[in-house]
């Protein structure tokens, strides 16, 4: 398995291009914008794009998803159906987040504990509400890699001062779905630098409150 991170939009959202090295089957995760940056990376590595994965419905994570799905004739998978409140309000999101309007439709909702195969990679899906009601995380157990979206960051956690967010739900999600993982897990967050679960247990002041 390999992955590349592409920062997109002025929010510097981490869009991940993740692929199976044996089959070159590839997932685009959270393509929030800057579609040509994403396409250039795909072309550089001659990857076989199979699907788009979405952690949650904020515009900086979904902005280029529909156009990429049309270009490569691939499904958009995610987020959880509870993020319909954000998907239905994309025009309002453009004002709230000061981002360009986009089309987001024909996605397939994902469910808690669902699994998706990507070549020889098995992706475990967990519903982790808090930052948004329908937030998902993607865990690749064999490689100890977690795509955490905006749930947990290096030395921090996701915002809960936004509409439909909930601090109690966020902390419960972290405790039940992230702290139970192998401590050597590499965390690939929605913004900022990579980290590990062990480092967050040691140094993240928010995590220390629930251990």
CA proximity to 6, closest of 27, 32, 44, 43: 32
Q: pLDDT digits over 118-168, tens only?
A: 999 999 999 999 999 999 999 999 999 999 999 999 999 999 999 999 999
Positions in the chain whose pLDDT score sits under 70: none
- CATH (domain of 78): 3.60.15.10
Q: Are 137 and 147 in contact (CB under 8 A)?
A: yes
**What is the domain range of residue 62?**
2-209
pLDDT score recorded for residue 91: 85
| pLDDT computed for residue 140 by the predictor | 99
Instruction: Give dist(CA 145, CA 139) in Å, integer.
Output: 6
Under 8 Å between Cβ of 109 and 92: no
Tell me how many domains the chain contains.
1
Q: State the Cα angle at 120 between 80 and 193, rounded to 5°.
A: 60
| End-to-end Cα spacing for the chain | 31
What does the alpha-carbon distance between residue 21 and residue 4 come to, in Å, rounded to a whole number? 13
* The pLDDT of residue 100: 82
pTM here?
Answer: 0.97
What pLDDT score does 96 carry? 83
Rg (CA), the chain: 16
Per-residue pLDDT at 98? 87
CA distances, 71 to each of 50, 65, 75, 130, 138 (Å): 12, 10, 11, 32, 24
pLDDT at 153: 99
Q: How many CA atoms lie within 13 A of 162 on its CB side?
A: 18
């Amino acid at each position: 398995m390999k992955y590349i991170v592409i920062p997109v939009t002025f929010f510097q959202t981490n869009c991940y291009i993740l692929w199976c090295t044996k089959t070159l089957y590839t997932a685009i995760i959270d393509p929030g914008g800057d579609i040509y940056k994403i396409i250039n990376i795909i072309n550089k590595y001659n990857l076989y794009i199979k699907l788009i994965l979405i952690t949650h419905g904020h515009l900086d994570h979904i902005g280029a998803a529909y156009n990429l799905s049309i270009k490569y004739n691939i499904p958009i998978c995610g987020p959880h159906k509870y993020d319909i409140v954000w998907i239905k309000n994309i025009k309002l999101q453009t004002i709230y987040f000061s981002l360009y309007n986009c089309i987001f439709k024909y996605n397939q909702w994902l469910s808690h504990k669902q699994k998706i195969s990507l070549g020889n990679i098995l992706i475990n899906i967990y519903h982790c509400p808090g930052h948004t009601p329908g937030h998902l995380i993607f865990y690749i157990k064999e490689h100890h890699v977690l795509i955490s979206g905006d749930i947990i960051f290096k030395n921090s956690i996701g915002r809960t001062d936004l509409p439909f967010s909930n601090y109690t739900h966020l902390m419960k999600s972290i405790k039940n779905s992230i702290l139970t993982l192998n401590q050597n897990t590499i965390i690939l967050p929605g913004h900022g630098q990579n980290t590990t679960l062990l480092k967050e247990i040691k140094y993240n002041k928010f995590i220390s409150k629930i251990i």
